[in-house]
Amino acid sequence: MHHFQYKGKELYAEDVAIKDIVAKVGSPVYIYSQATLERHFKAMDEAFAAVPHTICYSVKANSNLAVVKNFINLGGGVDIVSGGELYRALKAGVDPQKVVYSGVGKKDDEIEYALNTGILMFNVESEQELTRISEIASRMGKKAGIAIRVNPDVDPQTHPYITTGLKNAKFGITIERAIEEYRRAKDLPGIEILGIDCHIGSQLTKVTPFVDAIKKLKNVINTLKGMGISLKYFDLGGGLGIQYNDEAPPLPADYGTEILAETKDLGLHLLFEPGRNLVGNAGILVATCLYTKQRDEKNFIMIDAGMNDLARPALYGSYHGVKPVVNDQDGVIVADIVGPICESGDFLAKDREVPMFKQGDMMAFMSAGAYGFAMSSSYNSRPRVAEVMVKGDRFEVVRERETVEDLIKGEKVPAFL
């Protein structure tokens, strides 16, 4: 459920007409609905109300300060994968004790920053990383809280680019190695063992792979117990999918029921790292039709947003629903909706039946709140677009549209030219 609905012929974000936002802020623009963000967070939070838990929003999905702040206000923590994300989360006011730090390539300065900040724990992704964190923490006279990210070798049945929990993925440590690494971690001077972690992939539309992973990790937890290592936290990662087209992912409440059934006797504090599930359907990208052309039975709708603004269709062939901002077109047409970028992969919809858009018509790409702006770039020297948040009948720009001056910020022509 989201709050982008028609009132008459006009598409609204909550109580604000999208066309009024574009009139003020311009096109293209990302628009987020605060009520939808809140609803999704609460659905996840309530699903686990029966046990101690923390929802650590995965900042990478949408790192806008306003979005992060919104979840922090609701009691959330964050899952970060870089010093930059930590910086953002701190700016948004996160409680450091609700920060978990994942990622296979943590740099020394990022580890130091996280230790200085006093984050809850590092999700350790390799043997060498464990050693490095211990060295840095010891040098700083600190102990780093850690969980080992275990790669449970479970197929999440999703797109290969976002499958992370199979043996051949670069993520985490295999079960056999993980047990050895816990044994080693116990005696490392800079380490305090706090938990266990897994994240098997993104856009999962079934609960079974999560349950399979939990079963495997429970064995590890029991083995550790036998070794005298007791844990406080069980981080189950993110990955719960959303509806883009005709998928039918489980509701957070159903996901909750199954996960609780599997974890309740462990007595551990559960951590979750949802990204897409919280923000995906809470955001849209609005763009405007520049030109149309018909060629060899193929129709094109050229718009002012491209793969640099929303990379998902080009990168994963993903589907985003297309809706007219004002529903007044005459009939429908099968067309490719393409951007201005000089690449043939620059499409936002392919061979799609859409309203007969004409020059100047605005359209919304639905479910663009996750991995939308966050993955955008200024390729082709196109300033990144503005982001707006709506709450009820109010809206505010939460990121200014970039300017051409922004594009060359930090660039220099050397003296020898």
Binding residues: 239, 273-276, 312, 316, 343, 371
Q: Which two tokens stand for residue 379?
A: 């390729």
Beta bridge partners of 22: none
Helix/strand number for the chain, H first, E second: 12, 21
Does the annotation count 342 as an active-site position?
Answer: yes
Beta bridge partners of 336: 300
- State the DSSP code for 71: H
38 three-state secondary structure = helix
Taking CB under 6 A as the criterion, the residue among 51, 162, 266, 356 binding ligand LLP is 162
Q: Are strands 4-7 and 10-13 parallel, antiparallel or unpaired?
A: antiparallel
Of 65-73, 218-226, 234-242, 259-267: span binding ligand LLP (CB under 6 A): 234-242
- CB-wise, 34 or 203, nearer to ligand LLP? 203
Shortest reach from residue 12's CB to ligand LLP, in Å: 26
- CB-wise, 250 or 324, nearer to ligand LLP? 250
Q: Terminal CA-to-CA distance of the chain, rounded, Å?
A: 57
Note whether 48 binds ligand LLP by CB under 6 A: no
Of 14-22, 109-117, 183-191, 236-244: span binding ligand LLP (CB under 6 A): 236-244
- State the DSSP code for 307: T
Taking CB under 6 A as the criterion, the residue among 371, 384, 395, 398 binding ligand LLP is 371
| Alpha carbon distance 171, 151 (integer Å) | 7
> x/- string (CB under 6 A) for ligand LLP, residues 82-111?
--------------------x---------
DSSP one-letter string for 250-317: PPHHHHHHHHHHHHGGG-PEEEE--SHHHHGGGEEEEEEEEEEEEETTEEEEEES--TTT--HHHHH-
81 three-state secondary structure = coil
H or E stretch at 4? strand 4-7
> x/- string (CB under 6 A) for ligand LLP, residues 264-303?
---------xxxxx--------------------------
Of 82-90, 199-207, 209-217, 361-369: span binding ligand LLP (CB under 6 A): 199-207
Contact residues toward ligand LLP (CB under 6 A) are: 58, 61, 79, 102, 162, 199, 202-203, 237-239, 273-277, 312, 316, 370-371
